[in-house]
Amino acid sequence: MLFFNYNYQLKAAFLFGDSSMQRMKSRMNGNRWAVAIVAVAALLMVKPIFAQDVSETRLADGIFMLEGQGGNMMLVATESHTVLVDAQFARMAEAIGAKVEALGSLPLSYLINTHFHGDHVGGNAYMSETLGATILAHANVLKRLADDTDFPREGLPTETLTDRHALDLGEYSLTLKHYPTAHTDGDIVIWVDGQNIVHVGDLYFVDRFPFVDLNSGGTVQGYIDAINSVLADADEHTQIIPGHGPLATATDYIRLRDMMIETREQLRAWHAAGADVDTMVATGLDEKWAEWTWNFINEERWIRTLFNDLQASH
């Protein structure tokens, strides 16, 4: 299942360096299940080490970017409400809960899921059952999680949106906007109104090739469109919380968009010249994109993503 493959490959990317992952894959002759099994075994062995602390970066009074292991989170705390955006992996839940209590107050009013991948929703059940949160997500997130028989029912979203949604928290308000066919078919972006702060989930991997989940409704053009929409509401002072990577600016975000457009144009040129995808991979992208490769989405996988997206659009 995609849910299994994505989450365990991404966890492996956090655990192993580039060279270690490549050597492991080479020995296994491309057997993805073997790689996944080794990654799971490694995770089981190191679980106590990686149930790590959660750090915070203050963005404004009562507004924080939280980092632990998995997708970046945002905490918004007012006198009457505490809202968390995303919940990382299940084993991080208690540490996240402790940070929420230290910076805000309990019960947790809302947990907002930016999309359905496990490094963002793993702590859902804990946030609902233990911290009392109402879980809010796009309707497609509920459908995908409900269809996953391994996902705990207590962690399913209890409120959904289909386009836009507003939350009044007293001192602050949040605006949630859905971007269809982007990273997945259920991505939402969360703006803190009047504060120039936005959490974009996995619509942003900082200076890394992004994961466009083509099997879950994602498209390259939809991803680019989402970036452009966010940038239209941003300025040079906007604080952007990415799904993965450090706190960023609009200028940083533009680099991702431009990389996606330029590398897609290269692939279209190859395709027009009659090259097959293996030839594209063997040729490789311009050297200036070398540092964008990472454990989960390396250059080859990015080229194949662009190729598969192109094939699907024709």
pLDDT averaged per 10 residues in sequence order, the chain, 314 residues: 44 42 41 43 41 90 97 97 98 97 96 98 98 98 98 98 97 97 98 98 98 98 98 98 98 98 98 98 98 97 98 87
Structure tokens at 49: 């080490």
What residue spans in the chain does CATH classification 3.60.15.10 cover?
55-257
The pTM score is 0.86
Q: Please compute Rg for the chain using Cα positions.
A: 19
Average pLDDT, the chain: 88
pLDDT score of 34: 42
Query: Closest Cα partner for 219 from 157, 127, 284, 311?
Result: 311
CATH 3.20.20.70 fits 55-257, yes or no: no
Structure tokens at 110: 């809302």
Q: How far is CA 171 from CA 79, 103, 131, in A?
A: 8, 16, 22
pLDDT score of 313: 85
pLDDT score of 206: 98
pLDDT score of 51: 53
Query: Closest Cα partner for 176 from 138, 144, 206, 133?
Result: 138
pLDDT score of 25: 40
Query: Closest Cα partner for 204 from 277, 120, 267?
Result: 120
pLDDT score of 22: 42
Alpha helices, DSSP H only, in 132-219? 139-147
pLDDT score of 10: 55
